[in-house]
Amino acid sequence: MPSRKRMEQTNNIEALHQMNPEEYPVLYRELIIRKGALLRRLEQIITFGNERFPGWPWFPASVDKLIEHYHGSASTWQTSKAYLVSVGLLKERRPTSKSWSKAMQESVRRAGKGRQAVLWYHVPDYTPELFRAAEQAAERYKAEGINRTGLTIQGAIIAQGKKKAQHDLVDYRTRSERDRAGEYEIIRQIQLAINRKGYATKEPVIKRSTKRIKTAFKLDYIEALCLIRHTWANRNKRLLSMAGVRYGRPTKAQKECFHLKGDGWIITPKAF
């Protein structure tokens, strides 16, 4: 006989497919836009927890494990999860002794030693009340011009308010040693590129930072890339300010100086 947890998660997937687009127009559109990519990611997260950790109120998952099972890119998984958590269709936590609920303590205990550092997830019961709250959150993001691909912790604070955003999303300002190292490495790579050729571009900076973090912390490439991309997505304005640089389209003078042919964004000293 299927467990109660498995039945609840099966019912959640059914509830998603029975969602009325007229009653929840913004949320429905976000879930099914781009060939239903966001809905598919949510179903995969639910299935992952249901199949690997049946009966657990919270379950551990990492981006590399999700990619291993369902494919996709690290950046897509990160942006999808952030949006799903921010509207309340998924709950995400990084366990600490101060933040554990009884349900989470139970899950961490069952997972055993060594599994406590990754992110943990909980799928709430998809009731009409939860869908209405999710629709209201989605409406606030839409009103602020924020979509799921451009969602950052700053955007969540603007749309949801500081207290709720920090409660719902993992607060990335409480940074681990790896997070701080990622910030430092991004700034260092920007400065190295500027010293070498006068300007930097985003993707080479991310690629070189990923390689350094991968080696320094003995991570696999996907996990290191996920860390660096997430750091850039959520804190790039602060990092650029700390580095004393600007990020934007090149000016006419910069194009001539650096022999640039396109309008792709570059990172340059503010005084340039």
Domain span at residue 196?
Answer: 177-269
Percent of the chain with pLDDT over 90: 34
- Reading phi first (left if > 0) and then psi (alpha if -120 to 50, else beta), residue 220 is in beta
Let me know: does 193 contact 200? Beta carbons within 8 Å: yes
Say what the pLDDT of residue 93 is.
81
E strands, 125-221, where? none
Instruction: Provide the domain count of the chain.
Output: 2
pLDDT band at 151 (very low <50, low <70, confident <90, very high): low
pLDDT band at 3 (very low <50, low <70, confident <90, very high): very low
For residues 243-247, average pLDDT: 91
Structural domain ending residue among the three candidates 123, 149, 168: 168
pLDDT tens across 261-272, in order? 999 999 999 877
Structural domain ending residue among the three candidates 147, 168, 189: 168
Residues 265 and 206 in one domain: yes
Q: Is the pLDDT of residue 97 over 90?
A: no
Cα–Cα distance between 36 and 108 in angstroms, integer?
Answer: 32
